[in-house]
Amino acid sequence: MPGKPLQLRVAMIGYGFMGAAHSYAWRAASMAFDLGAVPVLAVLCGRDRAAVEHKATRFGFAETAMDWRTVVDRNDVDIVDVCSPGDTHMAITVAALRSGKHVLCEKPLANSVAEAETMAEAAESARSSGQRSMVGFNYRRVPALKLARHLVADGRIGELRHVRGAYLQDWLVDPAVPLAWRMRRELAGSGAIGDIGAHVIDLAQFLTGERLTALSARTRTFVTERPLPSGTAAALGGSGGPGTGEVTVDDAFVLHGEVGAALATFEATRMATGRRNSLRIELNGSAGSLAFDFETMNELSFYDATGPRSTNGFRRIIATEPDHPYMSAWWPPGHGLGYDHTFTNEIADFVRAIVGGTDPEPSLLEGLQVQRALAALESSATNGGAWTVVDRAER
C-alpha cells in the first residue's frame, strides 16, 4: 500500500484579501497538481481574536493564534505565509527563516530597501540550511504571461526595443472611501507604487530577463484626506472618533526608464475611473511584439514580423492548451482560468521547490531588486523627476 503523503503544515499571518486568496490556493494546489506533498492549513494568525477565529473557520485552518512570534517558533509548523501589512514583513520573515521555516512573503517584499536587504540576507543564510523562500508576485503564474516569457527567451520577438506597462484601478476614486492601512506610509510603505506598481516592474523584468536600470518618475496624491471609519486607531491618523485622516502615500505614478537596452514607460494608479483591475504590458522587438491585458487573461497577442507583410497581423493565442504553462493540470482547451488560479499555480511551484530542494522564483533577492526600483521611483519623484539609477541587487 502507498505510504502516507508528506504533509507541509502552513501557518498564515494575516487574513484579509490576500489571506483569502492564499488560503484557497493552499487547499486547491494538491488537488490540481502532483506536488509530492500535501499542504495542511495548521494555524491562522491575526490580532483581532473574533475576526481571526471567524476567518479560520471559513478558510479551513485547524487553529488560531494572536501573536506571530509564538507561531514561527512552533515545531509543528513547516511554512510561514506572510499576508500581513508591509510594515510587518521583515520581522516575521526573518524570524521564520531563523526558526527553520520555509517562507512565502507577499509583495512588495518590504517597506524600504534596508528592510528588503535584511530579508534577502536572511533568506540566503537560511538557503544553505535547506529553507526555501519566495515573494508572491502571482501574475508571473498567468499561463499567457509565462508563455510570453518563453517566447522572449526563445528570441521570437528579436532585440527588445520597447517595454510598456500599466496597472489601472479605480477603488479610490470616491473621496468618501475611508482611510485604511494601504493609505498610510508607516504601514504600507507607499501607495500605488508598491501596491500595484511593483507588479508592473516585476513583470517587465520577468518577461524580458532584464532589469529596470534607470528612470524618471512623477507621483500624485489626488485625495489628501479621507474619512476615518468609526473606531479607527490613532495609527491611521486620527483619534478614533469622527473626522478625517491624512493620506500619506501616492495615488498614482508615471515613469519612463530603461529596461536593459530598451526604452520603458510604466504607470500605475488607483484613480483610473472605470478600470477595476486593468493590468497591461506590451513588448516590442526587432522581430515581433507581444501584448497582454489581464481583462482577457487567457489571451496573448503575438505579432511575428518574420512572416509575409501581406498577411501579417497580431495573432490571438488562447493560452489554454495542455502544452501551455500550467494548463496540463487544469481544464480542457478553451476552458479559461481566473485570478484565483494564479495563486494556486504559485503555491504549486513553491511546494514543488520545497519538496525538490530547488530554489523557487521569484527569490527574495528578486524582491529586493524590485524594492530598489520602487525606492528609485520615489527618489526621482521627490526630486522633480530627476534621472535616477536603480541599484543592482546581487548575491
pLDDT at 165: 98
Q: Which 8-state DSSP code applies to residue 285? A: E
Alpha-carbon distance 180 to 261, whole Å? 39
The average pLDDT across 71-98 equals: 97
pLDDT at 107: 97
pLDDT at 5: 78
- Reported as a single tens digit per residue, the pLDDT across 257-316 is 999 999 999 999 999 999 999 999 999 999 999 999 999 999 999 999 998 998 899 999
pLDDT exceeds cutoff 90 at 368: yes
In three-state form (DSSP H/G/I as H, E/B as E, the rest C), the secondary structure along 147-210 is HHHHHHHCCCCCCEEEEEEEEECCCCCCCCCCCCHHHCHHHHCCCHHHHHHHHHHHHHHHHHCC
pLDDT exceeds cutoff 80 at 240: no
Domain 143-296+298-337 falls in which CATH fold? Dihydrodipicolinate Reductase; domain 2 (3.30.360)
pLDDT exceeds cutoff 80 at 137: yes
pLDDT at 236: 64
pLDDT exceeds cutoff 90 at 81: yes
Q: Any idea which architecture 7-138 has in CATH? A: 3-Layer(aba) Sandwich (3.40)
pLDDT at 239: 46
Burial pattern 21-52, b for ≥16 Cβ within 10 A else e, equals bbbbbbbbbbebbebebbbbbbbbbbeeeeeb
Tell how far CA 307 is from the center of its chain.
36
pTM for this model (two decimals)? 0.95
**Residue ranges of domains in the chain:** 7-138, 143-296+298-337
Q: How far is the CA of 7 from the CAs of 3, 39, 76, 354, in angstroms?
A: 12, 6, 11, 12
Task: Name the pLDDT band for 241 (thresholds 50, 70, 90).
Answer: very low
pLDDT at 3: 65
Alpha-carbon distance 263 to 265, whole Å? 7
pLDDT exceeds cutoff 90 at 27: yes
pLDDT exceeds cutoff 50 at 174: yes
Mean pLDDT of the chain: 95
Task: Name the pLDDT band for 4 (thresholds 50, 70, 90).
Answer: confident
Cell numbers standing for residue 295: 481583462
pLDDT at 237: 58
pLDDT at 66: 97
- Reported as a single tens digit per residue, the pLDDT across 220-237 is 999 999 999 976 555 565
pLDDT exceeds cutoff 80 at 387: yes
Alpha-carbon distance 260 to 14, whole Å? 36
